[in-house]
A = this chain, B = another copy of it.
Amino acid sequence: MPDTKYEISETRRDEFKVIMEITKRAAVFNEKEVYTVTELLEGYEEGPEESGYYFLSCRAVAHPERNAEESKEVRPGQVIGYACWGPRQLSGNGYDLYWICADPAVHSKGVGRALMNRVEDEIRQRNGAWVVIETSDTDHYAPARRLYERCGYTLAMLLKDFYHDGDGLCTYTKRLR
């Protein structure tokens, strides 16, 4: 389905709750990781320029061609995914994509890719050169890694057992200019 089904803009304060719900529903994240999103949202609320944490919400828009089956799943305006990104401290050109998360109800429908494109646009507008994404090398995160690879990211570093024994760190990078 085309990206035009979605609308992406800065996360609003009244969307924090649904963002936490999506995060919990995503099931790949453990309790500590879910808590991290709370901290990132707090930083965003205080001010992204100070905290370095920017949030974007992806919302469903009314679609004339949508059939009844789809309409049941997602109502117009509903938040169906989000991304958190920000500049790396002490770096003028480097940006981190901290979180990218689509509601399990809409997985494989382009929400992840649409958010990724938008984050990269934001970084390009700031004349950024690099996007860095850290993720796990476990099977659990294989769909996330596939998304990054489809979006043109390269596995630049792999540190086996970094998070825990059997759970390594994958650092994906993409040069934007």
Query: How many A residues are at the interface, by size bracket?
Result: 20 to 34
Flag whether A106 is at the interface (Cβ < 8 A): no
Residue-wise, chain A 134-177 has the 8 Å CB interface mask toward B (1 for contact) of 00000000000000000000001101011111000101010100
Flag whether A91 is at the interface (Cβ < 8 A): yes
Residue-wise, chain A 86-98 has the 8 Å CB interface mask toward B (1 for contact) of 0011111110000
In the assembled complex, which residues on chain B have CB atoms less than 8 Å from the CB atom of A159?
Answer: 94, 130, 132, 156, 173, 175
Least Cβ distance of A84 to chain B in Å?
14
Flag whether A36 is at the interface (Cβ < 8 A): yes
Give the contacting residue for A165; candidates B93, B162, B163; CB below 8 A. Answer: B93
Smallest Cβ-Cβ distance to A35: which chain B residue: B90
Smallest Cβ-Cβ distance to A88: which chain B residue: B162
Residue-wise, chain A 79-121 has the 8 Å CB interface mask toward B (1 for contact) of 0000000001111111000000000000000000000000000
**Identical chains in the assembly:** 2
Flag whether A33 is at the interface (Cβ < 8 A): yes
Q: In whole angstroms, what is the CA distance A23 to B105 when docked?
A: 52
Give the contacting residue for A169; candidates B32, B94, B161, B163; CB below 8 A. Answer: B94
Binding site for B on A (CB under 8 A): 32-33, 36, 88-94, 129-130, 132, 156-157, 159, 161-165, 169, 171, 173, 175
**16 more A-B residue pairs beyond the given contacts A32-B90, A88-B162, A132-B159, with a C-beta to C-beta distance below 8 A:** A33-B90, A36-B90, A90-B163, A91-B169, A92-B164, A93-B162, A93-B164, A93-B165, A94-B159, A94-B162, A129-B161, A130-B161, A156-B159, A157-B171, A159-B175, A171-B171
